[in-house]
Structure 1
Amino acid sequence: MKRRDFLKTSLAATTFAGIHSTLTAAEGGQMKREFYELRAFVLKPDKQKLVDDYLGKAFIPAMNRLGVSPVGVFYDAPELNPPPTPKPGQPPPPPAPMPPSLYVLVRYTSLDQIATVATRLAADAEYQKAGEAYLRVPAMEPVYDRIESSLLLAFEGMPALDAPGKKARIFQLRTYESHSEAAGKKKIEMFNKAGEIAIFRRCGQRPVFFGETLVGQRMPNLTYMLTFPDDDARKEAWNKFRSDPEWLKLKVMPEYADKNIVSKIWNRILKPAPYSQI
Structure 2
Amino acid sequence: MSEFYEIRIYRVFDFEKQNMLEAWMRDALLPALGRLGIKNVGVFRNQGDPNDHSQFMVIPFESLEQFAELNVKLAADKKFTDASQGWFAQDMKDPVYNRVDSWVTQAFDSIPKMEIPSFTDNPDRIYELRLYESHNMDSAKRKVKMFDDGETQLMRDTKLGPVFFGRTLAGPDSPNLIYLLGAESEAAHKEHWKAFISSDRWAAIKDLPEYKDTVSKIQKWNLTPTDFSEL
Q: TM-score range by the shorter chain?
A: over 0.9
Counting only pairs closer than 5 Å after superposition, residues 177-188 of structure 1 correspond to structure 2 as 177-188=133-144
Match status 1:229 vs 2:177: no
Distance 1:99 1:200 in 2: 29
- 1:100 positional shift: 6.4
Look up the equivalent residue of 2:167 and give its one-letter code: E
Question: Unmatched 5+ residue regions in structure 1?
Answer: 1-31, 83-97
List runs of 5+ in structure 2 lacking aligned partners.
Answer: none
**For 1:31-180, what aligned pairs fall within 5 Å after superposition?**
32-45=1-14, 46-78=16-48, 101-164=54-117, 165-167=120-122, 168-180=124-136
Distance 1:189 1:228 in 2: 25
Task: Give the counterpart of 2:203 among 235, 244, 248.
Answer: 248
Distance change >3 Å, CA 187–CA 49, structure 1 → 2: same
Q: 2:146 aligns with which of 190, 201, 221?
A: 190
Deviation at 1:146, TM superposition (A): 1.1
TM-score (norm 2): 0.94
Contact 2:18 2:53 in 1 (8 A): no
CA deviation profile, 1:164-215 (whole Å, cap 9, x unmatched): 222231000001100110000000000012x001111111101110000000
Is contact 1:64–1:70 with CA below 8 Å preserved after alignment?
no
Kindly provide the CA deviation profile for residues 242-266 of structure 1, in whole angstroms up to 9, marking residues without a partner as x: 1101111111111123xx1110011
Larger radius of gyration: 1
Q: Distance in 1 between matches of 2:13 and 2:193?
A: 34
User: What letter corresponds to residue 10 of structure 2 in structure 1?
Assistant: F
Taking only the aligned residue pairs, the percentage that are identical comes to: 37
Deviation string 1:212-236 (CA, Å, 9 cap, x unpaired) is 0000000000000000111111111
Distance in 2, Cα, partners of 1:178 & 1:140? 37
Equivalent position SS for 1:219: coil
Measured after TM superposition, the shift of residue 112 of structure 1 is 2.4
For residue 44 of structure 1, report the CA deviation from its aligned partner.
4.2
Aligned-partner SS, 1:138:
coil
In the superposition, the TM-score normalised over structure 1's length comes to 0.79
Could you list the runs of 4 or more consecutive aligned residues of structure 1 that deviate by over 4 angstroms after TM superposition?
none
Give the deviation of 1:133 after TM superposition: 1.8
RMSD of Structure 2 on Structure 1 (CA) = 1.5
Assess if the C-alpha contact under 8 Å between 1:37 and 1:151 holds in 2: yes
